[in-house]
Amino acid sequence: MEISSLQKARYGYSPKLPKMLRGGISEICVSEGAETTSVADCEKIKALFPNTYGKKEIVFKKGENTAAVKKQTVGVILSGGQAPGGHNVICGLYDALKAANPENVLFGFKNGPSGLIEDDYIVFDDAYIDEYRNTGGFDIIGSGRTKLETNEQFAIVAEVCKKHGINAVVIIGGDDSNTNAAVLAEYFAANNTGVQVIGCPKTIDGDLKNEDIDCSFGFDTATKTYSELIGNIGRDANSAKKYWHFVKVMGRSASHVALECALETQPNICLISEEVAAKKMSLSQIADYIADSVANRAAKGMNFGVAIIPEGVVEFVPEFSVLIAEINELLAGSKADAFNELPTWEEKYAFIKNGLTEASMEVFAILPQSIQQQLFLERDPHGNVQVSLIESEKLFSALVADKLAARKKAGTYSGKFSPIHHFFGYEGRCAFPSNFDADYCYSLGYNACLLIQYGYNGYLSKVSNLSKPADEWVAGGMPITKMMNIERRHGEDKPVIKKALVELDGKPFKYFEAHREEWAVETSYLNPGAIQYYGPTEVCDLTTKTLALEKAE
């Protein structure tokens, strides 16, 4: 396979480890802290996880390694969507296993959790691992979205592990994947299988974070990649001076990506879904808010701008959520067939009008026809609207165009509005990891090996103090149950890792809030440029603006 010059160079990069993990594996000991409780619903979570709940947090330190000496045979899977750095988690795990004992073995199960169930794997060796060091993507073994959640699946996984002599499984994934890791760990403990489960925190969306996890891996690289593109667009907008760019970015459940990109690039507008929900903003109010920026800039002769839109923002608009719920009810069961058999959009529109409440129909009526039709396209497996398919960047530019047309008619606006649309999602998921993500992910994998060596089960590999240089990072582990609460999923109570939303009283949002009025009117764009891998530390190893602001002293 032909490779680029940068890829060749990245193979040779040596990721930085926390000081406590450097040197020999034999010189790393463990320090146990206090017992833990779940973030909420303690009694319910404890009842569901009697064998793995309440375990102690741990930190690794320099000292004599007191773990029992035995051969380790470990399996690893990548679960869910791609995030930059996943390869380095596996590389760090592999290197630590081999450093502890050259006889240790690492199985890579292919295409996510299904690889464990189907016993589809590769046994890693040096030559194979070396081709993936410090590179983006999940192609080292592939990923998948199969959920490990039934006892039947767990029993199969236990048999696969027994067949190969596997004593630990490392699951690299997001909140759902690590929830499943905790449930699998509980099953293994309850059935005395002798198999440990360790999780690693991954998601570019940034919503797998809490007081213990500074950030999930991949967030740094993805937001830097998007910010480079948005910075380029801002420079182009200021050069051409005739287009408004509406940029949708990843973030279905939270707006961390949008906020970080706004802090990096200083656009005229950035919607924050959590604020939309807190203020109960309507579609009309949001459109007016954006239109105000367009009009104020036009009054200064600037008929151009940049707006960042989180992909899930419409779900946070109360009136839109009600509309979606009514549409789901309107097309429940056989009623969907009756709707789909109608030959024209006019007839379908009449069907919709007859089935919605007056308030929801008012919301539906203001949507552009293309968006109206998107609401009635493919349904998810449960028959519900797939809100993620809605082109929210086009929705808001169309609503803004309507607002501006009304203002022009009223004589309060005389500018030009020419919107252009972008969606940055896949562009960032497999980028070459930044030095930060390369170091962080390698440390997570290395750290996971030590958690296995010391016999921990149902733990998350944890590396914290990430706003400091890698020398000062703190490596250890925490029970996954500590992050859990109970949520209603499909009519049932389910234990899940609590998603982290943007905190409206947090330092990153407060900084944004303090500057956005100026950014809305002025041309304050920053162009952060491409990710840098070589050069001064302050250029190559800098962390996200979000983390820097959160940890500012």
Q: How many helices (H) and strands (E) does the chain have?
A: 22, 15
Helix or strand holding residue 173 (H, E): strand 168-173
For 441, the enclosing helix (H) or strand (E) is helix 435-453
Query: Which neighbouring-strand residues pair with 78?
Result: 172
- How far, rounded to the nearest angstrom, does the alpha carbon of residue 133 sit from its chain's CA centroid? 22
Distances (CA, A) of 126 to 17, 143, 492: 20, 21, 46
Cα separation, 182 vs 456, in Å, equals 12
- Distance between CA atoms of residues 296 and 340, nearest Å: 44
The C-alpha atoms of residue 185 and residue 152 are separated, in whole angstroms, by 14
Determine contact, residues 371/390, Cβ cutoff 8 Å. yes
- H-helix or E-strand containing 529? none
How are beta strands 474-479 and 56-62 bridged, if at all? antiparallel
Three-state secondary structure string covering 352-420: HHHHCCHHHHHHHHHCCHHHHHHCCCCECCCCCECHHHCCHHHHHHHHHHHHHHHHHHHCCCCCCCCEE
Angle CA(207)–CA(209)–CA(210) in degrees, nearest 5? 130
Q: Which residues neighbour 113 within 8 Å (Cβ) at sequence distance 6 or greater? A: 77, 79, 144, 146, 147, 148, 171, 177, 180
Q: In what order do the strands lie in the sheet with 244-249?
A: 269-270, 305-310, 244-249, 419-424
DSSP string covering 290-326, please?
HHHHHHHHHHTT---EEEEEETTGGGGSHHHHHHHHH
Backbone φ/ψ region at 142: left (φ over 0), alpha (ψ -120 to 50), beta: left
Alpha-carbon distances, residue 290 vs 271, 454, 532 (angstroms): 9, 55, 33
What is the distance between the alpha carbons of residues 68 and 157, in angstroms, rounded to a whole number? 25
Q: Using the structure block, give the residue that is written with the tokens 């649309």.
A: 421
The number of CA neighbours under 13 Å toward the Cβ of 160 is 23
Known catalytic residue at 541: no
Annotated catalytic residue: which of 95, 175, 176, 205?
205
| E strand map for 440-516 | 459-464, 474-479, 484-489, 492-497
List C-alpha distances in Å: 61 to 31, 262, 449, 470, 513.
Answer: 7, 38, 15, 15, 40
Report the 10 Å Cβ neighbour count for 270.
25
Question: Can you tell me the distance from the alpha carbon of 537 to that of 31, in angstroms, rounded to the nearest whole number?
Answer: 31
- Fill in the amino acid letter for 47: A
Q: Which residues pair with 179 in a beta bridge?
A: none
Residues with catalytic annotation? Answer: 205
